[in-house]
Structure 1
Amino acid sequence: MTTPIRLGTRRSALAQAQSGHVATALERVTGRPVQLVPITSEGDTNRASLSEIGGQGIFATRLREALLSGECDFLVHSLKDLPTAIPAGLVIAATPPREDARDVVLTRDGIPLHELRSGSTVGTGAPRRIAQVRRRSPHAEVIDIRGNVDSRLARVTSGELDAVVLAAAGLSRLDARSPLRREELGLAEWPTAPGQGSLAVETTEDAPAELRAALAALDHGPTRLAITVERAILEGLDAGCQAPMAAHAVVEGTSVRVRTVVYSADGDRRIGLDVTEDLNGEYIRRNGSGNGADAADGADPVHAARELGLTVARRLLDQGAADLVSREHLSS
């Protein structure tokens, strides 16, 4: 009998749905069964506001402890919830193709977010979304909420809230059906969290070579480059993954375009950049990925992507971004 590969996942319906997609893909690669191992994280039991408890590892720490202790063989995370610092002994072995990275507003009657009447209630728990709602619909009241997708949708259906803001990728992975009306928010005007729509497949550095190779087969190069740029901006700002900032990168060939914005908590102020770079040998030579012909011919494009993200973060800081990222959102 073939020994199952054990996949550690949070217990939420969304986490298990997205882990199930990865499990199916890995079963096709290896011909071995993949067994889901549900693990309860702090984020699943602590119902306080994300803006109060912070996002640094709240959904990942317990899963990583389980992986390092041998309770499972690999993990699947929502990448936007993952701190930029990877613990010693662990490695992101794959980033599968990204789902829709946009946010979606759901309402009963289809009124666009910017047209909601004064006093309308909009539910979201993320500081970045709170700031964006306050910019887009300044007369609405933002309600800080937690809970799974179904419970959030139910609060609009019941009339308790007039709208909620959710990730399009989560709705897609859950195949969530609802009578509510959807408004997709364009990434040019409403960029989302670094890594939104992406998954991170994580294992140990000393995992069997066969497993590492199988997981690597799930990796999608353009997704990895894009999320590397986005997360390097977050890292360079020295901000936690619940900071009121957004970054979205698009890769076409060797070219990367990244739109990034840092918001004040009230949404009144913002600092943004829209940058396009070609991650070829010339960029690598200019940004310290190596030297001479080796830099042009054989340098790691992921390294160049990270350097681009860090450069963008420095430009944001030079323009005053540190004044907008409040101290409670800074990483320790």
Structure 2
Amino acid sequence: MTTSSTDPGMPRTQFRVGTRGSALAVTQSTATAELISGASSLGFELVQVKTEGDIVIGPLAQLGGTGVFAAALRVSLLEGKCDLAVHSLKDLPTAQPEGLVIATVPARADVRDALCARDGLTLDNLPTNAKVGTGSPRRAAQLLVARPDLQIVDIRGNVPTRLARVFGEDQSLVDVGVGGELRSDLDAVVLATAGLERLGLERFITERLDPSIVLPAPGQGALAIECCPETAMSGDTLSGALSTVEDQAARWEVTAERALLGYLEAGCAAPIGALGRFSLGSEESSVSVAGVLTLEAVACAPDGSKMMRRRTQKTVTSLADARALGVALAEELLANGAAELAGLKK
């Protein structure tokens, strides 16, 4: 690594990236830092930050849900302890705090949820009353829609620790950070495919769940690079690299998904799923032209007894168009009783 100068008049030689200390967070932050470094020829340093989500024990939905993993990283940015922070976009609140911007959304990974089950089982052939672990009300509700007989078990912990609830003391899980006492007490767990693949743990996946069965969380599979506005707009080598690694299609997709979530005033404690898909409207290779953005959303009763699924699409040419699509679909959901169904505040 090169050493950065503290003199504002000197050219930047490196950047600092704030990250949580979990294996997944460090892996995501390192890969993103390497991407930016490759686009800028700058060195980088990882700055580990402990967040509330890493400290407090209990169901994620009771910890304040979305945002518990982001707050400390954001404080580090605002205090100048790091230049950039890398977040899983699905973990970020939809309201952007003053003084910070999501500068870049890189290309999106696999958006699907993954079933990781014993004996190679799939959702259809799990035994009756199988125990399936997840900390997500969204996943739990949709799983129960598909399989009302399942016993959903609320779980927390990092990815290897959750996998160990099914696969026990597998050496590859120990190597990447199983925490706490190991116990194999579940038939399956459901996790994000993207996280498993980033950690090199995709061999535990027995089924990538089709979005028609389990619609992912808004922003799932996408990363957000957050920083102060002056960092993003400085015109220096770093800001140029941030612009270079932006994926406009991913940005439009997650903008629509998060606009829907924000309008519903829902977070990760709500059984709401959303997925945007952008496709070019011409043969042009750039997505800086008009294209079709399709947005699908689902609202479920927490116990899986009822589900509402809606879909819409629109030709978009701007982020404003993407936001408007998300709001329009949210309004349709609310008009059809989604707030009461999913237990939202509306």
Same fold (TM over 0.5): yes
Aligned partner (choices 194, 197, 222) of residue 169 of structure 1: 194
Return the match for 1:212 from 230, 234, 239: 239
Partner of residue 292, structure 2: 255
> Partner residue of 1:49?
59
How many angstroms does 1:45 deviate by? 1.0
Which of 168, 183, 187 lines up with 2:207 in the alignment? Answer: 183
Q: CA deviation at 1:61?
A: 0.6
Residue 50 and residue 219 in structure 1: after superposition, are their counterparts in 2 closer, same or farther (change >3 A)? same
Q: Indicate the residue corresponding to 2:73 in structure 1.
A: 63
Mapped to 2, the partners of 1:320 and 1:212 lie a distance apart of 44
RMSD value, Cα:
1.5
| Contact 2:132/2:153 (<8 A) preserved | yes
Are the aligned partners of 2:146 and 2:213 in contact in 1 as well (CA < 8 Å)? no
The 2-side partners of 1:2 and 1:106 are apart by 43
SS of the counterpart of 2:242? helix
2:132 pairs, out of 103, 115, 122, with 122
3-state SS, counterpart of residue 324 of structure 1: helix
Counterpart of 1:230 (choices 243, 257, 277) is 257
Cα offset, 1:181, TM superposition: 5.1
Counterpart amino acid of residue 213 in structure 1:
G
Partner-residue secondary structure (3-state), 2:166 = helix
The 2-side partners of 1:318 and 1:119 are apart by: 35
Q: Which of 173, 194, 216 is residue 192 of structure 1 equivalent to?
A: 216
Q: What are the Cα deviations for residues 136-171 of structure 1, in whole angstroms up to 9, with x where unaligned?
A: 221111110001111111110134110000100001
DSSP-derived class of the 1:192 partner: coil
Q: Which residue of 2 aligns with 1:295?
A: none
Tell me the residue number matched to 1:303: 320
Matches within 5 A, 1:24-173: 24-158=34-168, 159-173=184-198
Distance in 1 (alpha carbons) for counterparts of 2:3 and 2:246 = 24
Q: Output one character per residue of 1:46-81: Cα deviation in whole Å (capped at 9) or x when no partner.
A: 121012223131011111011000110010000000
1:245 matched to which residue of 2? 272
Residue in structure 2 matched with residue 273 of structure 1 by the alignment? 310
Q: What is the distance in 1 between the residues matched to 2:129 and 2:305?
A: 18
Shift of 1:188: 2.6
Amino acid at match of 1:184: R
Read off the aligned partner of 1:52 and give its amino acid letter. Answer: Q
Unaligned 5+ runs, structure 2: 5-13, 169-183, 281-290
Q: Deviations 1:253-305 (Å, cap 9, x if unpaired)?
A: 1101111101111011111111121125xxxxxxxxxxxxxxxxxxxx11110
Read off the aligned partner of 2:207 and give its amino acid letter: E
Question: Does the 8 Å contact 1:128/1:244 carry over to 2?
Answer: yes
Structure 2 counterpart SS, 1:113: coil
Q: Tell whether the 8 Å contact from 1:83 to 1:241 is kept in structure 2 after alignment.
A: no
> 1:2, CA displacement in angstroms?
4.3
Q: 2:330 aligns with which of 285, 310, 313?
A: 313
CA distance in structure 2 between the partners assigned to 1:70 and 1:213 by the alignment? 20
Question: Hey, what's the Cα distance between the residues in 1 that align with 2:259 and 2:79?
Answer: 29
Structure 1 residue 215: deviation in Å?
1.1
User: Percent identity at matched positions?
Assistant: 42
Name the SS of the counterpart of 2:201 in structure 1.
coil
- What CA distance in whole angstroms lies between the structure 2 residues aligned with 1:257 and 1:177? 28
Q: Is the 8 A contact 1:89 1:206 kept in 2?
A: no
- Please give the secondary structure, in 2, of the residue aligned with 1:105: strand
Q: What is the DSSP-based 3-state SS (H/G/I as helix, E as strand, rest coil) of the residue aligned with 1:145?
A: coil
1:289 alignment partner in structure 2: none
Counterpart residue identity of residue 215, structure 2:
P
2 CA distance for matches of 1:104 and 1:324? Answer: 25
Change (3 A) 1:181 1:72: closer
CA distance, structure 1, for counterparts of residue 210 and residue 198 of structure 2: 20
| 3-state SS of paired residue (2:47) | strand
Q: Tell me, in whole angstroms, the C-alpha distance in 2 between the residues paired with 1:133 and 1:196.
A: 17
The structural deviation recorded for 1:242 is 2.9
Larger deviation: 165-174 or 201-210? Answer: 201-210
The whole-number CA distance in structure 2 between the counterparts of 1:57 and 1:156 is 28
1:271 and 1:52 map into 2 onto residues whose CA distance is 24
